[in-house]
Amino acid sequence: QQQVKQSPQSLIVQKGGISIINCAYENTAFDYFPWYQQFPGKGPALLIAIRPDVSEKKEGRFTISFNKSAKQFSLHIMDSQPGDSATYFCAATLNRDDKIIFGKGTRLHILP
- 54 — phi, psi (to 5°)? -120, 140
* Binds other proteins (CB under 8 A): choice among 15, 42, 58, 68: 42
Which range binds other proteins by CB under 8 A, 12-20, 21-29, 34-42, 78-86?
Answer: 34-42
Query: If we measure between CA atoms, which residue out of 102, 105, 73 comes closest to residue 2?
Result: 102
Four-point Cα dihedral 68, 25, 95, 64, nearest 10: -60
Binders in 67-106 for other proteins, by CB under 8 A: 89, 93-95, 97-105
Q: What are phi and psi of 46, to 5 degrees?
A: -60, 130
Q: Looking at beta carbons only, is 32 or 65 nearer to other proteins?
A: 32
Least Å distance between CB 103 and other proteins? 7
CB of 51 to other proteins, least distance (A): 10
Q: How far is the CB of 83 from other proteins (least distance, A)?
A: 19
Beginning with the edge strand found earlier in the chain, give each strand of the sheet holding 56-59 in spatial order: 4-7, 19-25, 72-77, 62-67, 56-59
Q: What's the rounded Cα separation, in Å, for the pair 37 and 18?
A: 16
| Residue 41 sits in the site that holds other proteins (CB under 8 A) | yes
Q: Interface residues with other proteins (CB under 8 A)?
A: 32, 34, 36, 41-46, 49, 89, 93-95, 97-105
